[in-house]
Copies of this chain bind each other. A is one copy, B any other.
Amino acid sequence: MTDRSLLILPGDGIGPEVMAEVRKVIDWFGSAQGITFDVSEDLVGGAAYDAHGVPLTDATMAKAQEVDAVLLGAVGGPAYDDLDFSVKPERGLLRLRKEMDLYANLRPAQCFDALADFSSLKREVVSGLDIMILRELTSGVYFGEPRGIHTEGNERVGINTQRYTEGEIARAARSAFELARRRNNKVCSMEKANVMESGILWRDVVNEIHAAEYGDVELSHMYADNGAMQLVRAPKQFDVILTDNLFGDILSDCAAMLTGSLGMLPSASLGAPMANGRPKAMYEPVHGSAPDITGQGKANPIACILSFAMALRYSFDLGDEATRLERAVEGVLADGARTADLMGPEGGTPISTSEMGDAIVAKL
């Protein structure tokens, strides 16, 4: 028993495949460095639905609340497309986010130099790109009530509610400003204050927190549609982007794709500090369950391995070990190791998920 507890939720699709490679990394830290983790594993998403009829059991939820960090693979897939909304695989993920109150979702969009040519954007537009999107993750239209489909007259009507409280906006804003201070000191906040009152409140609260507590950080605002444009046109103008749950979903995927390295990008979802001082935390790759390549040994485990690196840094105070792992990943890329997703049009021979995991462990 150590004081580092980690709950692994591989989930669906390629989730279990990439997680197997993280296990190798965890084992290496134990055997080579004496840094051990108290690892447990459980089901989430479609896998949990298949076993228990729900995408997350209460027992798993309780466990997630107790550990220092959760590492999740991916959820969802076509096999679950016709499930009732309330038991969709995604609801397991959303329940974790909501009940653990993980309000600050950190999504880096970073261009790995060895892979810059793999982007659909020109090299000079993306090379050296390093932006961080802070997406509010526990509120907004994902969770607002009332919601649902009902009948009015003889028509169906679908309703969702975008709802943000001042406190929800303020805590996300603080996280963004704190992040910016450790980076290039710039925050750009994105909403649609020109058409939505929730966007007006968002902008007002961000301005207030900025004026009262973070006057040293450079703050700008952009409408989210313009934000999407600017991300495509000249992404290097940004440092930290602060935005809400729904805009963050779309803008972070857009930003991730700019780098051409979707299989490379990790994320961290952080909440308030627990009794031991560590933040409530869940880590997951930005990519999804990739049903089209599931079970073929083609998945890139790097996003999940780098998510574990984020866990080392943010949950376990093992910043040096995180850096070591990140360097190992850069090293194997520099050596030319490529999974199938990292093959350019010129081709070459990709290595398998498992070979990539082995190569990274060998570099450590």
Contacts and interface: CB of A to CB of B under 8 A. Distances in A.
A188 to B, nearest CB: 15
A158 B164 contact: yes
A326 interface: no
A351 interface: no
A229 to B, nearest CB: 4
A166 to B, nearest CB: 4
B148 A197 contact: yes
Contacts of A43: none
Interface string A251-276: 11110111000100000000000000
Contact of A232 (B147, B155, B156, B254): B254
A166 B162 contact: no
Counted per complex, copies of this chain come to 2
A120 interface: yes
A303 B155 CA distance: 39
Contact of A197 (B85, B121, B194, B256): B85
A156 B166 contact: yes
Query: Which residue, of A156, A195, A254, has the highest number of chain B Cβ atoms within 10 A?
Result: A195
Contacts of A355: none
Nearest to A345: B124
Interface string A137-181: 000011010011100100111111111111100000000000000
A322 to B, nearest CB: 27
Interface string A232-256: 1110000000000011011111101
A202 interface: yes
Interface size class of A (residues with CB under 8 A): 35 or more
A339 B162 CA distance: 41
Interface string A182-222: 00000000001011111111100100000000000000000
Grouping DSSP codes into helix (H, G, I), strand (E, B) and loop, the A interface class, with mixed when no group exceeds half, is: helix
B232 A258 contact: yes
A249 B190 CA distance: 14
A52 interface: no
Contacts of A246: 192
Contact of A162 (B122, B161, B232, B233): B161
Nearest to A191: B158
A158 B253 contact: no
A194 B120 contact: no
B197 A158 contact: yes
B157 A166 contact: yes
A40 interface: no
Contacts of A149: 197-198, 200-201
Contact of A121 (B120, B141, B159): B120
A199 B229 contact: no
A340 interface: no
Contact of A225 (B88, B125, B200, B253): B253
Contacts of A26: none
Contact of A228 (B147, B194, B254): B254
B125 A249 contact: no
13 contacts: A76-B194, A121-B121, A141-B141, A142-B195, A158-B162, A159-B162, A159-B163, A160-B196, A160-B197, A161-B162, A228-B251, A232-B257, A232-B258
Which 9 A-B pairs rank lowest in CB-CB distance, beginning with the nearest? Answer: A158-B201, A158-B198, A225-B253, A229-B257, A228-B254, A160-B162, A232-B257, A155-B166, A120-B125
